Structures are given as C-alpha cells and as structure tokens.
Amino acid sequence: MSHTRGALAGVRVADFSRVLAGPYATMMLADLGADVIKIEGPEGDGTRQWKPPANAAGQSTYFAGTNRNKRSIVCDLKEAEGLAEAKRLAHSADVVIQNFKPGTMEKFGLGYEQVAAVNPGVIYCSVSGFGEDKGAALPGYDLLVQAVGGLMSITGQADGEPTKVGVALVDVLTGMNAVIGIEAALIARAETGKGQHVQVNLLSSLLSALVNQASSTLETGKSPGRMGNAHPSIAPYETLRAADTEIALAVGTDGQFAALANLLGKPELASDERFINNESRVAHRAELRETLEAILGTKAADDWLPGMTAANIPAGKVNNIHEAIALADSLGLNPVAETPLHQGDTTHTIRTIANPIGLSETPATYSIAPPELGADQGADWL
C-alpha cells in the first residue's frame, strides 16, 4: 500500500448519497485522498442488500464496487441525536454530497442554503434525476433515464427493440460529472474563499454524453435510429463475423482500410469506387459488410488478429468482463485494487476495479475496504 499523500488530502466529505451515482463520485474523491465519511441511515445503503453476488467477506459486490476508502457511521435523521450528528458533520465538511429526492434534505435542515448559512465555504453537491425545478418530482432511475433520454433508442439491432446498456452507465457518467463539479468548485474556493452549490442530474449527463448523436439531431432535425454495432458516420466500424466469433473492427481512416484490404488479400478493395473513401464506404455499408465477412469467415479470429495488430488495424475480439480485466492486466494497467477487510480473526482481501486516473505525483491509493455498516461509529477522528 502506498503512503503517498493524495491530491485531495485535507478535504473532508460528508457523504449522504447512496446506491450508485453519488457513491461512485465519493469513491473517486476518496481514492485521491479525500476523507470521506459515509453517513447512512439505520438500514444502511440499499445496495448492501443487493446480493448475490457477494465478495469474500459476504458484502454485496454492488456495494463494494463503489464504497472503498470510506468510513461508515449511522445517523438516523428522524432522531434528534442522529440529526444533530449529521448537521455537525455537514457544518464542518469541505464537501457535502447527497442524492435524495429534491426537497428531502431541506426538511431536515440539511439543504444547501441551510448548511451554507453555517458553513459558507461548503461545496454542496446535489445529484438528481431530472434537476431540482420542474423535474424534481420525477424518480431518477438509470433505466428510466436511458429510456426517456434517448440512449435506448440508438442501442440495439435495427430490427430489434430499444435496449438498455448493460450497466447503469448514466449513473456512472453523472458521478463523474459530480467529481468534476466538486473539484472545480474547490479550485474556485481556493481563489475566492466561497463555497457553492454543485448540481448534476442524470438526464443532462446523458444528453451531454450523446455527443455526435445529439449534435446530428440538433443540426438535421432527425433523430438517429438503432444500428446494432455499426457507426452512423464511419465504415467499417462494427463487429464482423470471423469463422468462430466476432471481430470488432474500428477502421477510421482510408489508410487503415487500405491496410485491411491488403491483409485480407484483396488490395483492390481500397480502389473500388464503392469503398475508395469513408463516405463511399458508409454509402455502401451493406455491400462492404458482406464482402468483408465472406473473407473473414474463412479463418478464426485468432488467425486474423495478430496480422491486424501488426498492420496497425484497430481490431479485437469481443471479450467478456473477465477477459477484459485479464487484458488490462497483461498490458500493465494494474486494473485491480486490493484492500484488507478484518472480520474478527479473519482478514479478507477485497478486490475492486482500480481508479482509472493516473497521477504521477499523487496517485490514487487504496487503504480502506468497503466499510461494514457503522464500522466507525464514535471514532475519535470524527
């Protein structure tokens, strides 16, 4: 375990969030050195009960995946003692983050204006589904936002049903935006001495992440549809079938396509009027796909891929998650973080995916396993 002082050392976070977007954000902050106090109700974060699967210590892997490097205390906001402790922590924290339904924290005297009146330097981050104005009453669930936010309309096969992404991606994106907002506000406070209210919501985070698809919609007035694994503006940029499995080809330039044609033993494809440049390949996508799959289907993926890599053609197999982690490990990316969790006389090693941000002088560190509920109740450091 590294003992390097983290980039956010000295920053204390009172974390009232639960489930995914907020906890993901505070884990990122904790990895970078912030002191994160996870403030839970008597029942704990709901994801503690979302199992199976469970890790070696019996914890929900869902909970463990977003709650390392934090300490846990229980504050029952409906009881005077618990509410008083929660207020004390919020009033002394550098950062407060919460993702309750808009208006909930205000009922307990823990809303932004109420906390800032006592703690004017506080960076207070509110995470919501649809904002805190006209969308305040709408429930902020990732699946719902993927649906109403347009992501499902462009995900799935062209002749299939709208499909959600295989992970709560909008929650993760929103958590990342929360981190960016909090860190920007901390920098501003260093200059002005003033805190501020950081607000992020799932719908806005998704619309921002739609990038080229949203941009084309704004400029053309037409919403794109589902294309399976194909790309609306690049070809071949999709999965194509080899003899045994699919190969993902991400050919983004004419030079790469020429290299691909040469590797496949069909250099004339690069000068074919239908495929001579990207715009032509997009216009003749179906013919291109049929032509390439006829050739790729003569060999297994592992017979094609080494040559593609050697020729700088972006290509790879469609891995499962276990294979993806193994790939990152083989590339020296150190994808797994390990933290010890002590339960009586037994010590478990809890494995989670490492922080993706590399910092040369103040790297992420991993010292605290995902905490048991109330594990730090009454600790002197509080």
Give the integer Cα–Cα distance in Å for 270 and 261: 6
> Residue 178: which of 123, 220, 136 has the closest Cα?
123
Tell me, rounded to whole angstroms, the distance of Cα 30 from its chain centroid. 16
Q: Are strands 246-250 and 237-241 parallel, antiparallel or unpaired?
A: antiparallel
For residues 96 and 123, is the Cβ–Cβ distance under 8 A? yes
To the query of whether residue 171 is one of the catalytic residues in this protein, the response is yes
Where are the alpha helices (H) located in the chain, listed in sequence order? 21-31, 61-64, 80-92, 104-107, 112-118, 142-148, 169-192, 202-209, 211-220, 254-263, 278-283, 285-296, 301-310, 321-330
**Nearby residues of 237 by Cβ (< 8 Å), 6 or more positions away:** 230, 231, 249, 250, 251, 252
Structure tokens at 216: 């084309």
HSE at residue 98, side-chain half, CA atoms within 13 A, is 24
Spatial distance between the Cα atoms of 186 and 180, rounded to a whole number of angstroms: 10
Q: Give which of 130, 155, 153 is closest to 141, Cα–Cα.
A: 130
Identified catalytic residue from 171, 244, 329, 345:
171
Q: In what order do the strands lie in the sheet with 237-241?
A: 237-241, 246-250, 315-317
What is the phi-psi region of residue 286: left when phi exceeds 0, alpha when psi lies from -120 to 50, beta otherwise? alpha
**Residues marked as catalytic:** 171
